[in-house]
Amino acid sequence: MNQAAVDPVVVHRMTSALQHRGPDDCGVYTAPRVALGHARLSILDLSGGRQPMHNAARSLSITFNGEIFNYLELRDELQGKGHCFTTSSDTEVILHLYEEEGERCVEKLNGQWAFAIWDQQRRRLFLSRDRLGVRPLFYTQTGNNFLFASEIKALFASPEVARDLDLEALDQIFTFWCLLPPRTAFKSVRQVPPGHSLMVENGQVRLWPHWRLEFDPESRYGEDGEQKLSEELLALLDDAVRIRLRSDVPVGTYLSGGLDSTFITALTKRRAGNHLRSFSVAFEDPSLDESAYQQQASAFLGTEHSTVQCSRDDIARVFPEVIWHAEQPILRTAPAPLFLLSRLVRDSGFKVVLTGEGADETLGGYDIFKEVKIRCFWVRNPQSTWRHLLLRRLYPYMEGIQRQPSAYLARFFQVDAQDPGLFFSHLPRWQLTAKAKAFYSDALRSELGRYDAMSELESSLPQAYRRWDPFLQAQFLESNYLLPGYILSSQGDRMAMAHSVEGRFPFLDHRVVEFASKLPVRLKMKVLQEKYLLKRCADGLVPSAVKKRKKQPYRAPDGDCFAQGAAREYLDELLSPDCVRRFGLFDPEAAAKLLAKFRAGRAIGAKDNMTLVGILSTQLLVSQFVNPLTRRDFLHANT
Amino acid sequence: MQIREMLTDFVVENFLFGRHGELKDDDSFQENGIIDSTGVLELIAFIEERFAIRLHDSDLIPENLDSIRRVTDFVQRQLSVTTERSDAA
Residues A542-582: tens digit of each pLDDT: 998 898 888 787 888 888 899 888 888 899 999 999 999 99
A128 neighbors A210 (Cβ within 8 angstroms): yes
Predicted confidence at residue A636, as pLDDT, reads 44
Predicted confidence at residue A179, as pLDDT, reads 97
Predicted confidence at residue A305, as pLDDT, reads 97
Q: CA torsion, points A255, A258, A264, A268, in degrees to nearest 10?
A: 40
A334 neighbors A554 (Cβ within 8 angstroms): yes
Predicted confidence at residue A613, as pLDDT, reads 97
* Domain harbouring A28, CATH code: 3.60.20.10
Of A88-92, A234-238, A329-333, B39-43, the one with minimum mean pLDDT is B39-43
Share of chain A above pLDDT 90, in %: 74
Predicted confidence at residue A131, as pLDDT, reads 98
In a domain, A626, yes or no: no
The CB-side HSE value for A489 (13 A sphere, CA atoms) comes to 32
- Between β-strands A53-54 and A60-68, what pairing exists: parallel, antiparallel or unpaired? antiparallel
Of A122-131, A151-160, A543-552, A582-591, the one with minimum mean pLDDT is A543-552
Q: CA torsion, points A236, A237, A241, A242, in degrees to nearest 10?
A: -30
* Average pLDDT value over all residues in chain A: 91
A608 neighbors B41 (Cβ within 8 angstroms): no
* Domain harbouring A308, CATH code: 3.40.50.620
Rounded-to-integer distance, Cα A14 and Cα A16, Å: 5
In a domain, A345, yes or no: yes
Rounded-to-integer distance, Cα A38 and Cα A18, Å: 8
| Domain count for chain A | 2
Q: In chain B, how many H helices and how many E strands?
A: 4, 0
The CB-side HSE value for A501 (13 A sphere, CA atoms) comes to 29
In a domain, A599, yes or no: no
Q: Which residue has the higher pLDDT, A45 or A358?
A: A358
Of A131-140, A366-375, A612-621, B14-23, the one with minimum mean pLDDT is B14-23
Rounded-to-integer distance, Cα A65 and Cα A41, Å: 9
The mean per-residue pLDDT over the stretch A202-217 comes to 92
Start-to-end CA span in chain B (Å): 27
Domains and CATH numbers, chain B: 3-88 (1.10.1200.10)
Rounded-to-integer distance, Cα A25 and Cα A22, Å: 7
Predicted confidence at residue A207, as pLDDT, reads 98
Taking a contact as any Cβ pair under 8 Å apart, which residues of chain B between 4 and 23 contact chain A? 13-14, 16-19
- Between β-strands A277-283 and A304-310, what pairing exists: parallel, antiparallel or unpaired? parallel
- Give ∠ CA A66-A479-A18 in degrees, rounded to 5: 30
Q: Which residues of B touch A431 (CB under 8 A)?
A: 33
A40 neighbors A249 (Cβ within 8 angstroms): no
A247 neighbors A230 (Cβ within 8 angstroms): no
Q: Which residue has the higher pLDDT, A220 or A298?
A: A298
Per residue in A281-293, pLDDT (tens digit) is: 999 888 899 999 9
Is the CB of A606 less than 8 angstroms away from the CB of B60? no
Q: Do A377 and A485 reside in the same domain of the chain? A: yes
Q: Do A205 and A222 reside in the same domain of the chain? A: no
Identify the domain boundary among A209, A225, A252: A209
Structural domain for A495, as ranges: 213-426+459-553
Would you say residue A67 has pLDDT above 80? Answer: yes
Is the CB of A408 less than 8 angstroms away from the CB of B36? no
Would you say residue A405 has pLDDT above 80? Answer: no
Tell me the nearest-neighbour CA distance from A432 into chain B, angstroms.
Answer: 7
Highest mean pLDDT among A39-48, A381-390, A469-478: A469-478
Q: Which residues of B touch A604 (CB under 8 A)?
A: 38, 41-42
Taking a contact as any Cβ pair under 8 Å apart, which residues of chain B between 31 and 60 contact chain A? 33, 36-42, 57, 60
Q: Does A594 touch chain B (CB under 8 A)?
A: yes
* A325 closest CA partner among A626, A25, A624: A624
Tell me the nearest-neighbour CA distance from B50 into chain A, angstroms.
Answer: 15
Is the CB of B37 less than 8 angstroms away from the CB of A594? no
Confidence of residue A639 (pLDDT cuts 50, 70, 90): very low
Letter string b/e over residues A29-46, b meaning 16 or more CB atoms within 10 A of that residue's CB = bbeebbbbbbbbbbbbee
Is the CB of B41 less than 8 angstroms away from the CB of A403? yes
Residue-level length of chain A? 639
For residue B66, give the chain A residue with the closest CA: A408
Q: Do A51 and A131 reside in the same domain of the chain? A: yes
Helices (H), ranges, A259-389: 259-272, 291-301, 312-326, 335-347, 359-363, 367-379
Q: Do A290 and A363 reside in the same domain of the chain? A: yes
Per residue in A230-268, pLDDT (tens digit) is: 999 999 999 999 999 999 999 999 999 999 999 999 999
Q: Do A309 and A395 reside in the same domain of the chain? A: yes
In a domain, A592, yes or no: no
Residue of B18, B37, B57 with shortest CB distance to A590: B18
Residue of A439, A597, A607 with shortest CB distance to B36: A607
Identify the domain boundary among A504, A535, A553: A553
Residue-level length of chain B? 89
Confidence of residue A637 (pLDDT cuts 50, 70, 90): very low
Would you say residue A391 has pLDDT above 80? Answer: no
Residue of B13, B14, B40 with shortest CB distance to A405: B40
Q: In one letter, which amino acid is B60?
A: L
Is the CB of A408 less than 8 angstroms away from the CB of B16? no
The mean per-residue pLDDT over the stretch A81-98 comes to 96
The mean per-residue pLDDT over the stretch A486-512 comes to 98
Cα-atom radius of gyration of chain A, to the nearest Å?
24
Predicted confidence at residue B89, as pLDDT, reads 55
In a domain, A573, yes or no: no
A–B CB contacts, 8 A cutoff, strictly below = 72
Identify the domain boundary among A147, A179, A209: A209
The mean per-residue pLDDT over the stretch A419-424 comes to 83
DSSP lists the bridge partners of residue A309 as A282
Letter string b/e over residues A382-409, b meaning 16 or more CB atoms within 10 A of that residue's CB = eeeeebbebbbebbeebebbeebbbbbb
Q: Do A498 and A350 reside in the same domain of the chain? A: yes
Q: Does A602 touch chain B (CB under 8 A)?
A: yes
Q: Does A597 touch chain B (CB under 8 A)?
A: yes
Interface test with B, best of A175, A331, A385, A408 (most B CBs within 10 A): A408
Strand (E) or helix (H) holding A241: helix A226-244
Residue A131, phi then psi, degrees to nearest 5 = -60, -45
The mean per-residue pLDDT over the stretch A513-523 comes to 93
For residue B40, give the chain A residue with the closest CA: A404
Of A127-131, A478-482, A484-488, B28-32, the one with minimum mean pLDDT is B28-32
Q: Dmax over Cα atoms in chain A, in whole Å? A: 74
Is the CB of B37 less than 8 angstroms away from the CB of A401? yes
Rounded-to-integer distance, Cα A492 and Cα A501, Å: 10
Q: Do A205 and A220 reside in the same domain of the chain? A: no
This prediction's pTM: 0.91
A561 neighbors A322 (Cβ within 8 angstroms): no
Q: How many CB atoms are closer than 10 A to CB A52?
A: 20
Q: Do A297 and A416 reside in the same domain of the chain? A: yes
The mean per-residue pLDDT over the stretch A226-230 comes to 91
For residue B33, give the chain A residue with the closest CA: A435
In a domain, A227, yes or no: yes
Is the CB of A605 less than 8 angstroms away from the CB of B62? no
A61 neighbors A52 (Cβ within 8 angstroms): yes
Predicted confidence at residue A238, as pLDDT, reads 98
Share of chain A above pLDDT 70, in %: 94
Q: Does B87 touch chain A (CB under 8 A)?
A: no
Q: Which residue has the higher pLDDT, A526 or A92?
A: A92
In a domain, A539, yes or no: yes
In a domain, A203, yes or no: yes
For residue B22, give the chain A residue with the closest CA: A438
Predicted confidence at residue A628, as pLDDT, reads 64
Q: Do A321 and A187 reside in the same domain of the chain? A: no
Per residue in B53-74, pLDDT (tens digit) is: 988 878 888 889 999 999 999 9
Per residue in A312-371, pLDDT (tens digit) is: 999 999 999 999 999 999 999 999 999 999 999 999 999 999 999 999 999 999 989 988
Q: Do A52 and A77 reside in the same domain of the chain? A: yes
Strand (E) or helix (H) holding A503: strand A502-504
Confidence of residue B36 (pLDDT cuts 50, 70, 90): confident
Predicted confidence at residue A363, as pLDDT, reads 95
Confidence of residue A631 (pLDDT cuts 50, 70, 90): very low
Predicted confidence at residue A281, as pLDDT, reads 97
Q: Do A155 and A298 reside in the same domain of the chain? A: no
Predicted confidence at residue A400, as pLDDT, reads 67
Strand ranges across the sheet with A138-142: A145-149, A138-142, A190-191
Q: Do A153 and A87 reside in the same domain of the chain? A: yes
Per residue in A349-364, pLDDT (tens digit) is: 999 999 999 999 999 9
Predicted confidence at residue A632, as pLDDT, reads 44
Predicted confidence at residue B37, as pLDDT, reads 66
Predicted confidence at residue A638, as pLDDT, reads 40
